[in-house]
Structure 1
Amino acid sequence: MTQPWIAALFALFIWWFSTGVIMMAVRRADRVDGHVALVIAGVPVLVIGVALVSASLQAQTIVGVYQGFLGALAIWGWIELAFLAGVLTGPRRVGAMSGELGWPRFVNAVSALAYHEVLLLVAAIGLSVVSDGALNQIAIATFLILFLARVCAKLNLFFGVPRINLEFIPARLTHLKTFFKQGPVTLAFPIAITVLTAVLAVCAERLWTAQTDVSQIGFALLTALAALALLEHWLMVIPLPDAKLWRWMLPAPRQDDFGRKTDRHHGL
C-alpha cells in the first residue's frame, strides 16, 4: 500500500465496491420496505468515518492518508445511502408536471433534492472547519472532489445527456426520472468536463512532483478519484456498457406464481 500505483488501484476498487454495496443494500430494502432501518443500520459507518477523519488530521503518515481518504468516503457513503434509500431527499416527493419547462422545472428539481444537497454542503463545511490548519488535508480534498463531481453530474442529468442508466434508480426515487433529460449535450457538459479535467491535471501534477511517500500516496488517491469523476461524465456520452460493472451485484428479480420475473417497484 506504499506505492502510488497500488494506492490508485485501491481507490478504484473502493469506489467500485462501495458503490455496488450501497446499490445492493438499497435494492434489497426496496423489496422489503426497509429503507429507514437500512439508514439507521448504516449509522456506524458514519461514526467510523468521522473517527477516521479525526484520527487523520494531524497524522502526516501513509496510514493517516488512508484514514482520511476512507473516512471521507464513509461519510459520503452514508449520506448517499440515506439519499438512495429515499429517506433524505427533499420536500418535493413527486415528479415534474406534464409540460413543465425552464425555471419552474429547475426549482422543482432542486426541491426534490434539497435536503440531500444541504447535508452534503454541511458536511463539506464541517470538514473544511476541522481541516483548517491540519497537517493532513486528504479528507476534505476527497470530499470536495466527490461534491464537485456530484453537482456537475446532476446539472448534466437535468439539462441533458445522451446516456442515462435509469435501471439503477431506486424505487423511492423513481419520481426523479422526470427531471432527467436524455438528449444532446448542452453547455453544462463541456463546462463540467473542463472543470473536472483541471482538477485531474492539478492532482496529477502534484503526484508527479511529490517529494515524499506520504504526498505521493495522497495525490495518487486523489488523482484516481478525479479520473473516475471525469470518466463517469464521459460515460454519459460514450456508449460503453458501464452498467455491467454493478449489475451482477444486484438481487435477482422476483418471480411470480407463474415463474415470470417481476419486481413490484416500477420494474427496478
Structure 2
Amino acid sequence: MTSTWIVSLFAIFVWWFATGAILVAVRRADRIGNHLSVVIRALPILLFGIWAAEASLTDVTVAGAYLGFAGALAIWAWIELAFLTGIITGPVSEDCPPGLDERTRFFRAFATIAYHELALVIGLLGLVLVSKGAPNQMALVTYLILFLARISAKLNLFYGVPRINTEFVPSRLMHLKSYFRKGSITWAFPASITVLTAITVVCAERLWHAQSDVTIVGFALLTALSALALLEHWLMVVPLPDAKLWRWMLPAPNTLPNKDGRHGL
C-alpha cells in the first residue's frame, strides 16, 4: 500500500477511528462510573505502541513506516484516554474562579492538566532517547507533530477562539470548560497556523520529491497527519459541524447524576 492517496486516506481513517474509539471508551466510562477500569483494560494499546515504536526503529521498509506511525498513535491514544477519563489530569479539579488576573488564570489552568502534560513529555522524551541514531524516526516525528498540535490547541482554547466544541467534554473534566475563552482570535492562532502550515508544507515537499516506496509512505502519513492538525485548528474559527463526524457512533449520554452529583454528557 504505497499509493500517496491510499496512504493519506489510511492516515485520515486511523485518525477518525482512533478519535471515535477514545470518545466511545470515555462515554462508556462515564456511564458505568469505573474510569480506572477502562484505562487499565486499555493498557494493551499502550504496550502495543511501545513495542511497535521500538520495533520500527531499525526497520527501514514500508512496514516499518506504518509500524512507527501506529506505535506513536497508540502511545498517544492511551495517554489521551487516561486524561479524558480523569485518571491523569492535574492537581486542580475545580472551576476557574472569576476575576483572576491573566497570569494567575494561566497557572491555575495549567494545574488542571499538569500530570497529563507530564505524561506527554515523558512519552516524547522516551521516544527521543530510544530513537537516537536509529535509521527510522517515524514514531518520534509522528508523536512530535501530535505533541506540538495539542500544545498549540490548548493555548488557543485558553487565550480565545471564536468556536469551541464542548460537546464531547467528559463528565469528570467539566471544570475545564471554565478555563476556555470563546472570543476573537489572539496571537496564539496565527502563530499556531504558521507553525503547522510550515510542517505540512515541509512534509508535502519531501513527499513530492520522494523516490522510494518507504519515503512516499512515510511522508504521506506525516503530511496527512499535519494537515489534519492544521484543519483542527481552522475548525476553531470556521463554523463547520465537525462534531457530526463522531456523534453518530457514540452511545446515548448518561442523563442520571453521577456519584459526585454531576450529570453525564
TM-score (norm 1): 0.95
AA of the residue aligned to 1:19: T
AA of the residue aligned to 1:152: S
CA distance in 2, matches of 1:87, 1:25: 13
Asked if residue 120 in structure 1 is aligned to residue 117 in structure 2, the reply is no
User: 1:266 matched to which residue of 2?
Assistant: 263
Contact 2:31 2:253 in 1 (8 A): no
Contact 2:170 2:264 in 1 (8 A): no
TM-score (norm 2): 0.96
Bigger mean CA deviation after superposition, 149-158 or 93-102: 93-102
How far residue 99 of structure 1 moved from its aligned partner, in angstroms, is 1.9
* Gap runs ≥5 in structure 1: 255-261
Contact 2:30 2:264 in 1 (8 A): no
Bigger mean CA deviation after superposition, 128-137 or 139-148: 128-137
CA distance in 2, matches of 1:39, 1:144: 23
CA distance in 2, matches of 1:5, 1:221: 10
Cα root mean square deviation, aligned: 1.0
User: 2:57 matched to which residue of 1?
Assistant: 57
CA distance in 1, matches of 2:23, 2:234: 21
AA of the residue aligned to 1:266: H
User: 2:39 matched to which residue of 1?
Assistant: 39
How far residue 32 of structure 1 moved from its aligned partner, in angstroms, is 1.2
Contact 2:86 2:172 in 1 (8 A): yes
Give the match's secondary structure for 1:153. helix
Fraction of identical pairs, as percent: 61
User: 1:71 matched to which residue of 2?
Assistant: 71
Distance 1:267-1:78 versus aligned 2 partners, 3 A rule: closer
* Gap runs ≥5 in structure 2: none
Residue correspondence of structure 1 range 208-247 to structure 2 within 5 A: 208-247=208-247
Residue correspondence of structure 1 range 94-113 to structure 2 within 5 A: 94-113=94-113
Bigger mean CA deviation after superposition, 1-10 or 64-73: 1-10
Contact 2:72 2:140 in 1 (8 A): yes
- The count of residues paired between Structure 1 and Structure 2 equals 261
CA distance in 2, matches of 1:266, 1:5: 43
How far residue 95 of structure 1 moved from its aligned partner, in angstroms, is 1.7
CA distance in 1, matches of 2:125, 2:54: 15
Residue correspondence of structure 1 range 138-149 to structure 2 within 5 A: 138-149=138-149
Contact 2:82 2:88 in 1 (8 A): yes
